[in-house]
Amino acid sequence: MHFPHRAAITSIAGILLACSFPCHAAAEPLIQYGGSPSAYFSSPDLAIGWHQSSSTQGVTISATLGLYQSTSRSSDATRIATAYLTTALGPGTNSGNLVSTNTVLVGGSPNTSSAYTLFSGLNLSPGSYYLTISEGNDVGWLTSSSPSLYQASGDSYLGAFSADLTRGTVDPYGPASHFYSVADSYSPASYGLLFSVSGDPVAPPAVSVAPEPGGGGLVAIGASAAILFGLLRRRSHLAVQRVTCRSSRVR
Full domain range(s) for residue 46: 28-201
pLDDT given at position 196? 96
Query: Quick one: 163 and 219 in the same domain?
Result: no
Q: Verify that 189 and 234 share a domain, yes or no.
A: no
> How sure is the predictor about 104, in pLDDT bands with cuts at 50, 70 and 90?
very high
Domain co-membership, 154 together with 191: yes
Assigned domain for 106 exists? yes
Highest mean pLDDT among 55-64, 191-200, 218-227, 237-246: 55-64
Number of domains in the chain: 2
Same domain assignment for residues 113 and 231: no
Rounded distance between C-alpha atoms, residue 161 and residue 230, angstroms? 80
Q: Is 54 exposed, middle or buried (0-12, 13-18, 19+ CB in 10 A)?
A: middle
Query: How wide is the angle at C-alpha 200 spanned by C-alphas 45 and 96, nearest 5°?
Result: 40
- How far is the C-alpha of 129 from the C-alpha of 99, rounded, in Å? 9
150 and 49 in a common domain = yes
Residues 73, 131 within the same domain: yes
Q: What is the pLDDT of residues 118-132, one digit of tens each?
A: 999 999 999 999 999
DSSP 63-111: EEEEE---TTS-TT--EEEEEEEES--STT--GGGEEEEEEEEE-SSTT
Does the pTM exceed 0.85? no
pLDDT band at 16 (very low <50, low <70, confident <90, very high): very low
CA–CA separation, 117 and 61 (whole Å): 6
More confidently predicted of 96 and 234: 96
**Longest distance between any two alpha carbons in the chain, whole Å:** 127
The pLDDT, as a whole number, for residue 230 is 61
